[in-house]
A and B are shown apart, each in its own frame.
Chain A
Amino acid sequence: MPTAALDADPDLEPDPLFVASFREARWILLMWVSCFVWTLTVCLNFGYPETVDPQSFPTVLGIPAWVAWGIAFPWLIANVVTIWFCLCVMEDADLGDDVGAAEAAPAADSAAAPAAGDSNV
């Protein structure tokens, strides 16, 4: 298995950006699951009534209560968490050099250098 050999190579280490991205992706999926569970739990329990009494229909600031607590409120929380996550949790990292940019052509009719990776195919 190549991965085991690579892990054992003292000259190599897992790409830090890959490791950080993977960790952040798991947190993002957890955020999606949290929103999913909250919204569907509230909305499926309170948003699908058998009958409605129009005279006493519950609202919050003019919004139907099931929408306010099941969608508007978690939406607000999701925004706060998203902003916090982006500003405080996500790590900055060097994205590396752009191989494509190095191919800048000095003359309009000069031949383009093969893009990186072409030799792989």
Chain B
Amino acid sequence: MFELSLYPPTMLAAAGSSALVTFCLYTLAVFGLAALSSRLLKNRNFLNEYFLGSRSLGVWALALTFAATSASGGSFTGFPSLIYTHGWVLALWIASYMIFPICTMGLLGKRINQVARKTGAITVPDILRDRFQSASFAILATALLVFFTCVNLVGQFKAGSMILQTLLGENATYQALRGLVGNFMQSSQILAGLDPGYFLCLITFGVAVIIYTTWGGFHAVVWTDVMQGVVMVLGVIIMLPLAIYQVGGLQHATETLAQMVPPHRAEIVIETHLENPDVPKGTWLQTADSPSRIFRIGEAAAFNEAGKATVSGIEVVDAGDQQRIRSGAVDVSFEQSVTIVDVRSSTPAAYPGDERPGVYVTAPGPDANKMDGMLPMSLAFSMFFYWAISGTGQPSSMVRLMAFKDTRTLRISIASVAMYFSFIYFPLVVIFCCSRLLLPGMEVESDRIMPQMAVTLTSNIGAGWLAGLLVAAPFAAVMSTVDSFLLMISSAVVRDYYQRNVNPDASQRTLQRMSYACTIVVGVGVVIAALNPPEFLQYVIVYVGSGLAACFLAPMSLALYWKRMTTSGAFASMLGGFLCHLSLYVVGWYRGDGFTKPMRPFSLDPVVVGIVMSFTAGIVVSLLTPPPPKELIEKYFYTRRN
């Protein structure tokens, strides 16, 4: 077994260099794919090719673009962070991915593709407009789609910038550029308050994505998705054996986890006699008594004139972690120039309040703030519903289902995606349960666990260069989601609003210019919005994902499978889902719980309630209104006998 270690700055710098090389190669490849796909735009119907790839996706393209778009940055940043913090219970949290591919691709796949071909539909609102013969309904769908997707994009751009920052880390070139940008920003009133590293990475990420998406359209997005999908699964497949080997086997890891107790949240007063002290977030400190108490601070210390500062962080109270740290089994360096003068508080996690062992290997999992743990039984029920069922209602998935070339492609792609996700999600749970043994104290910056684990695993086997590939996986995940969403917004505006409502006779050249301009304008707008993203953005992203499902799943399912569905029923279904879902968040806000804790009737998540309301409203209102015209039912549900 390798010696467990936190990596020194030299390793971080080496990893940053390899990440920079990886990023440059990766970006070059992406632009190459965009150039190739832009050639396909010639001599074809522009909108059909630009937004839907002329419905020509084959097996691997469909499988990997679907998988890569579904796996957003959260799969490689937020999810590993949750596993590290809460343990094996995350396997239950993500369990419905066992049935995710067949549900999300199989329930609507064939039918949505057939209807899209029959009507010439290029976008989701296109299908709804033709099925319900209502321009107003299409505009409502377009408005909701653009609203939700733009909000989501702001979060994804923020995640992209933060991942890029982590990738480049201590790289000298990046640090020099960061300094230059910082100096420039100081002279600007608008940019003065921003972090130059975040700003630089946001602009770099944004420019790269906007250019290749605008240039290449749907095919560029799909081809880069294929490449990104391969990078993601390779990253996981390489990390899994390394992690298991380096913790001495999975059995040993689970047995050790079974004895662990979560750290305390702590607030300490520290003191230093240095003139310009720099005590960053993540610094390790210990008290002078014997045995010492071990702390890791969760924020940069701001010292007063007397050389004292009050900082929050964690206290490592697990006996195993303490022993590993003191014995040098993990390479933790304590800051010697800073002393702890007072421990103001050291509070156990809200669950389990009594510090009993076993919480990392059982449900509901430890939680610093929630008394009923990370995943109480009622939430486990909602999560199983959430991934597989609400995933079916995501318009970005529907667009991909409109683009495959034949039903054989769909069948084999579903089987491939099922295997693909099995190689991603369950292994991630194993890898990051192991990470608790390799990297103690990461609760203070758990969002960085993925890149730090990659650096640790590769450095321990003397292959730091490999970190570049591993840390590219989360970056690829964000990029593949962002490009798809960007194109979806552009298509909604150009096709669903401009061509269908403003200028139906627009020339191909006009539509082409509009599409390019729209993709650029939306991309730039989102970059500007992401300069100052709200702090609770992750919760906004959750709201967006579930909101889209509450709005689109029932209207689309009923449109495709229920002859009796009427235009009024479609309005009721979409608005009912949207308003019900929104109102649960508003009530949570009104009760003083903020945007992070929506009201949960009967302990059910808002997405479950929203989808049930959407189906109910659609069915009831349809039954109360006159049936659709005979010609329409015949067009969608019947064929002429030969």
Whole-angstrom distance between the alpha carbons of A20 and B560 in the complex?
13
Q: Does B182 contact A (CB under 8 A)?
A: no
A111 to chain B, nearest CB (A): 5
- A99 touching B118 by the CB < 8 A rule? yes
Q: Does B524 contact A (CB under 8 A)?
A: no
A22-66 contact mask (Cβ, 8 Å, vs B): 1 or 0: 101100110110011001100110011101111001010111101
CB contacts (< 8 Å) of B119 on chain A: these are 99, 115-117
Which of A3, A91, A96 touches B564 (beta carbons < 8 Å)?
Answer: A3
B554-573 contact mask (Cβ, 8 Å, vs A): 1 or 0: 00000011011000000000
A residues engaging B (CB < 8 A)? 1-3, 5-6, 10-18, 20-22, 24-25, 28-29, 31-32, 35-36, 39-40, 43-44, 47-49, 51-54, 57, 59, 61-64, 66-67, 70-72, 74-75, 78-79, 82-83, 85-87, 90-93, 95-112, 114-118, 120-121
Q: Is the interface of B mostly helix, strand, loop or mixed?
A: helix
B residues engaging A (CB < 8 A)? 43-48, 52, 54-55, 88-89, 91-92, 95-96, 98-99, 101-103, 106-108, 110-111, 113-114, 117-122, 126, 129-130, 133-135, 138, 249-255, 258-259, 356-359, 361-364, 377, 380-381, 384-385, 388-389, 406-408, 410-412, 414-415, 418-419, 422, 426, 430, 499-500, 504-509, 511-512, 560-561, 563-564, 627-630, 633-634, 636-641
Whole-angstrom distance between the alpha carbons of A23 and B388 in the complex?
19
Contacts known (A13-B641, A75-B95, A120-B130); A105 close to B45, Cβ less than 8 A: yes
CB contacts (< 8 Å) of A78 on chain B: these are 98-99, 102, 418
- A98 touching B120 by the CB < 8 A rule? yes
- B508 touching A110 by the CB < 8 A rule? yes
CB contacts (< 8 Å) of A102 on chain B: these are 120
CB contacts (< 8 Å) of A110 on chain B: these are 507-508
- A98 touching B508 by the CB < 8 A rule? no
| Additional A-B contact list (19), CB under 8 Å, known A21-B560, A51-B358 | A5-B630, A12-B641, A18-B111, A52-B356, A52-B358, A59-B251, A62-B254, A67-B88, A67-B91, A70-B95, A91-B407, A92-B408, A96-B118, A101-B44, A108-B508, A114-B505, A115-B126, A117-B129, A121-B129
Which of A36, A79, A114 touches B419 (beta carbons < 8 Å)?
Answer: A79
CB contacts (< 8 Å) of A10 on chain B: these are 641
Whole-angstrom distance between the alpha carbons of A74 and B95 in the complex?
9
- Can you spell out 7 A-B residue pairs with CB atoms less than 8 angstroms apart? A2-B627, A3-B627, A28-B102, A62-B251, A64-B361, A82-B101, A104-B44
CB contacts (< 8 Å) of A21 on chain B: these are 110-111, 114, 560-561
- A71 touching B92 by the CB < 8 A rule? yes
- B45 touching A101 by the CB < 8 A rule? yes
- A95 touching B639 by the CB < 8 A rule? no
Contacts known (A47-B363, A104-B44, A118-B504); A71 close to B418, Cβ less than 8 A: no
Whole-angstrom distance between the alpha carbons of A109 and B407 in the complex?
35
CB contacts (< 8 Å) of B560 on chain A: these are 21
B144 to chain A, nearest CB (A): 19
CB contacts (< 8 Å) of A101 on chain B: these are 44-45, 48, 54-55
Whole-angstrom distance between the alpha carbons of A39 and B505 in the complex?
54
- A6 touching B111 by the CB < 8 A rule? no
Whole-angstrom distance between the alpha carbons of A31 and B122 in the complex?
31
Contacts known (A3-B563, A52-B362, A111-B507); A98 close to B422, Cβ less than 8 A: no
Contacts known (A57-B254, A93-B110); A12 close to B45, Cβ less than 8 A: no
A115 to chain B, nearest CB (A): 4
- B638 touching A2 by the CB < 8 A rule? no
Contacts known (A85-B102, A112-B511); A103 close to B92, Cβ less than 8 A: no
CB contacts (< 8 Å) of A24 on chain B: these are 106, 110
Which of B258, B407, B419 touches A57 (beta carbons < 8 Å)?
Answer: B258
Which of A28, A44, A49, A86 touches B411 (beta carbons < 8 Å)?
Answer: A86
- A49 touching B362 by the CB < 8 A rule? yes
Whole-angstrom distance between the alpha carbons of A39 and B561 in the complex?
29
Whole-angstrom distance between the alpha carbons of A30 and B282 in the complex?
48
Whole-angstrom distance between the alpha carbons of A31 and B52 in the complex?
30
A80 to chain B, nearest CB (A): 9
- B406 touching A51 by the CB < 8 A rule? no
Nearest neighbor of B253 in chain A, beta-carbon distance: A62
CB contacts (< 8 Å) of A36 on chain B: these are 96, 384-385
Shortest Cβ-Cβ A-B pairs, 8 listed: A52-B358, A62-B250, A99-B120, A117-B130, A2-B630, A116-B120, A100-B120, A62-B251
